[in-house]
Structure 1
Amino acid sequence: MNDPLTNGLNPVQSEAVDARWAVVLTRQLRQGPARVWTALTDPHGLAGWTPYTADRDLSTPGPANLTMTDGSSGAPLDGTVLTAQPPYLLEHHWGEDVLRWELVESGGGTLLTLRHTTSRRAELASFAAGWHLCLDTLDLLLAGTPRKPVVGERARDFGWAELEARYREVLTA
């Protein structure tokens, strides 16, 4: 792998959610919940680390459009914010999937838990690997050493395939 942050896997698990599945990742971040919250909700902050940006700030419930920035279709996806409890809980649609971001003050920083719920169980390891790289980029961004987002084909240069295989092993064990 070309990125030192990807040397270990994030704690991960999968869980059944009604007729769907969720991959659950946790990551300890060095910054407090307020800084992490801004990166999760501000369209400019999102553009620095996620595979999408939003047409509005996501810190309040209601409709939003998310536009993919990873080289895939530029068509807007439903990004409806279902729950926003600054700076600790954000839940929103990502197309047909639901992303739930939970932030807890921990060790002077934030314990972030991402629950990505989808109907595509076979893609849980793929989502885990992609979010792993995005969270690496978020950590760098929050530390003041931003890099270009690692999304789409660019992720392959940062060890996405190896991460996906390792997450698949963990999630199918």
Structure 2
Amino acid sequence: MQTYGKLNKVDERYKLKFERAYAYSVEEVWGIVTNPKHFTQWYPFATGEMELRLGGKIYFDDGEGSTYEGVITELAPPHIFAFREIDDLLSIELKTEDDGCCLVFEHTFDDASMSTSVATGWHRCLDALGMIIEGSPVEWPDNAASLRKTYKETFNS
């Protein structure tokens, strides 16, 4: 299951949600999602420095030479990994299914005008995560323009 992201307004903020299914156990996918080496391959600006504990820090590079930190706000291995990055909340939940697991990725943010760009970016990042989970080399296809068009139409933005 590869779905397009869905956008909802929740308490004056916007929540973007993706679901992806994998033919791997929750434990296998958890090990990839939370492994700093893999995290840097699919998560934008991640430096690879991560304190995997509640309240732990995740370090990011802003792309211009400065670093900043996120804070792990929820951690329930091997099912929930959530953190705050600046003012945004990000959550990954892994649910066991008969033939593997379902990954639910949510990003809560304030600026609705960014929804098309945010959805396009996460769609591509989750595609990269899927490649890692499947044991394939990460390749970033040139699909950003078509995804932006799809999300712009879907979100009417």
Residues 1:167 and 2:151 are matched in the alignment: yes
Deviation of the 1:75 alpha carbon: 2.3
Work out whether residues 2 and 21 of structure 2, in 8 Å CA contact, stay in contact via their aligned partners in 1. Answer: no
Q: Could you say which residue in structure 2 is the equivalent of 1:138?
A: 129
Residues 1:36 and 2:29 are matched in the alignment: yes
Q: CA separation in 2, counterparts of 1:105 and 1:144?
A: 20
Q: CA separation in 1, counterparts of 2:132 and 2:150?
A: 25
Residues 1:95 and 2:86 are matched in the alignment: yes
Q: CA separation in 2, counterparts of 1:73 and 1:97?
A: 20
Note the residue ranges of structure 1 that are not aligned, 5 or more in a row. 1-7, 151-156
Q: Could you say which residue in structure 2 is the equivalent of 1:3?
A: none
Work out whether residues 74 and 80 of structure 2, in 8 Å CA contact, stay in contact via their aligned partners in 1. Answer: yes
Normalising by structure 2, what TM-score? 0.86
Q: CA separation in 1, counterparts of 2:111 and 2:39?
A: 24
Q: CA separation in 2, counterparts of 1:40 and 1:73?
A: 25
Deviation of the 1:13 alpha carbon: 1.6
> What does the per-residue CA deviation read over 1:16-65, in whole Å, with 9 as the maximum and x for residues that have no partner?
2222111111111232211221222221120122213242243x211313
Note the residue ranges of structure 2 that are not aligned, 5 or more in a row. none
Change (3 A) 1:112 1:14: same
Q: Could you say which residue in structure 1 is the equivalent of 2:104?
A: 113
Higher relative contact order (CA 8 A, sep 6+): 1
What root-mean-square deviation, in Å, do the aligned CA atoms of Structure 1 and Structure 2 show?
Answer: 2.2
Q: 3-state SS of the aligned residue for 2:50? A: coil
Work out whether residues 90 and 102 of structure 1, in 8 Å CA contact, stay in contact via their aligned partners in 2. Answer: yes
Q: 3-state SS of the aligned residue for 2:9? A: strand
Q: Could you say which residue in structure 1 is the equivalent of 2:44?
A: 51
Aligned sequence identity (%)? 25
Number of residue-to-residue matches in the alignment: 156
Q: CA separation in 2, counterparts of 1:126 and 1:107?
A: 34
Q: Which has the higher strand share?
A: 2
Q: 3-state SS of the aligned residue for 1:80? A: strand
Work out whether residues 22 and 124 of structure 1, in 8 Å CA contact, stay in contact via their aligned partners in 2. Answer: no
Q: CA separation in 1, counterparts of 2:68 and 2:10?
A: 22
Change (3 A) 1:142 1:57: farther
